Amino acid sequence: MNSKTLTRADLSEAVFREVGLSRTESADLVESVLENIASHLVAGETVKLSSFGSFSVRQKGGRIGRNPKTGEEVPISPRRVLTFRPSHVLKDNVNKALSGNGQDTAATPE
């Protein structure tokens, strides 16, 4: 499996091809899309993109962690974390393409 890594440049290129805006404007729009999503998340809002997935922010409480190397206890302060839940469409597409199943991955209570 030779896997590639896509970046902003590839997304801008796709917008450029698909919509026919200039390369600069395509790049600016990719940036605005990401920035729009990011700022809503920072404001504590959930962002739902149908057939793709949803991003939400969760508040985690503080706890005592441990340095796995030294065994030393370190406090972990309360923080906010971002979670992404892929939609069923995305999960199915990825799984069908890569594992050859995905249709009947039952037992995913919704």
Partner 1 sequence: MIKSELVARLAEANPHLYQRDVERIVNTIFDEIAGALARGDRVELRGFGAFSVKERPARMGRNPRTGEPVEVDAKHVPFFKCGKELRERLNTSEPVTADAGFSGNVPGAAD
Q: List interacting residues with partner 1 (CB under 8 A).
A: 1, 3-8, 10-11, 14-15, 18-19, 21, 26, 29-30, 32-34, 36-38, 40-53, 55, 57, 59, 77-84, 86, 90-91, 93-99, 101-102, 105, 107
- Nearest CA among 22, 21, 51, 55 for reference residue 36: 55
Question: How far apart are CB 108 and partner 1 at their closest, in Å?
Answer: 11
Torsion of the alpha carbons at 97, 101, 106 and 108, rounded to the nearest 10 = -20
Question: How far apart are CB 100 and partner 1 at their closest, in Å?
Answer: 10
**C-beta closer to partner 1: residue 23 or 49:** 49
Interhelix angle 23-42/8-19, rounded to 10 degrees, is 120
How many angstroms separate the CA atoms of 36 and 24, rounded?
Answer: 18
Question: How far apart are CB 41 and partner 1 at their closest, in Å?
Answer: 7
For residue 24, what are its two tokens? 């600069």
Question: How far apart are CB 69 and partner 1 at their closest, in Å?
Answer: 22
**C-beta closer to partner 1: residue 61 or 71:** 61
DSSP 16-31: HHHH---HHHHHHHHH
